[in-house]
């Protein structure tokens, strides 16, 4: 999916925010991507947040199973988004 903004929209942004919902096998995964700036250093970053939700009632007895499923679905989705190089960076390896 590509996004083409009208020419009248400037290509420089002060803030950036994107939200999309992905229909998963057993639920809905909401992904939020926001820009952020560290107040102390002015360093810029992107914040990525995932929220997985069942679209049916969950009994108290099945909360642990739901949490495991939620973690699995979210992790699998995230790992599909990132590169091998980024995985190495997350594990503390130095990338040159």
Radius of gyration of the chain (CA): 18
How does residue 1 score in pLDDT terms, banded at 50, 70 and 90? Answer: very low
Residue 3 has pLDDT above 70, yes or no: no
Mean pLDDT, rounded, for 2-12: 75
pLDDT digits (tens, 9 = 90+) for 11-69: 777 788 899 999 988 889 999 999 888 889 988 888 899 999 987 888 999 999 999 99
- Select from 21, 17, 20 the least CA-distant residue to 34: 17
């Amino acid at each position: 999916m590509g996004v083409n903004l009208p020419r009248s929209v400037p290509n420089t942004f002060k803030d950036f925010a994107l939200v999309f919902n992905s229909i998963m096998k057993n639920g809905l995964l909401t992904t939020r991507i926001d820009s952020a700036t560290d107040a102390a250093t002015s360093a810029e970053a992107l914040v990525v947040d995932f929220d997985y939700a069942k679209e049916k009632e969950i009994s108290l007895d099945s909360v642990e199973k739901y949490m495991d499923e939620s973690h699995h679905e979210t992790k699998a989705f995230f790992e599909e988004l990132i590169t091998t190089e980024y995985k190495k960076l997350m594990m503390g390896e130095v990338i040159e």
